Amino acid sequence: MLNKFCKKPLYEVTQTMAKVAMGVEKAELVIKNAKLVNVCNAEIQEGIDVAISQGGESPSSATPLTASVKTRR
């Protein structure tokens, strides 16, 4: 299902997203040492790296992007 936020359906980007999460492919944009608001448990997690892939036309676009989050512990 596509909505106004999705550029491509999930089945088209799953393999690329997995490769980015494993470090096999480079992300389009990486945000380091961020604060992440976890809406599942209402916590703010600090020191999070967010790798963004399969986004809009450019990393500076206003289009929401799909992200892979890696926690540094």
Q: For residue range 35-50, what is the model confidence (pLDDT) as tens digits?
A: 999 899 989 999 998 8
Q: Give the helix ranges, DSSP H, for 1-73.
A: 10-22
Pair 29, 55: CB distance under 8 Å: yes
pTM of the model: 0.59
| Phi and psi angles of residue 16, each rounded to the nearest 5 degrees, phi first | -65, -45
Indicate the residue type of 41.
N
Could you report the per-residue pLDDT of 2-34, keeping only the tens digit for each? Answer: 566 667 888 888 898 899 989 999 998 899 999
Indicate the residue type of 33.
N
Name, in order, each residue with C-beta under 8 angstroms of 12's C-beta and a sequence gap of 6 or more: none
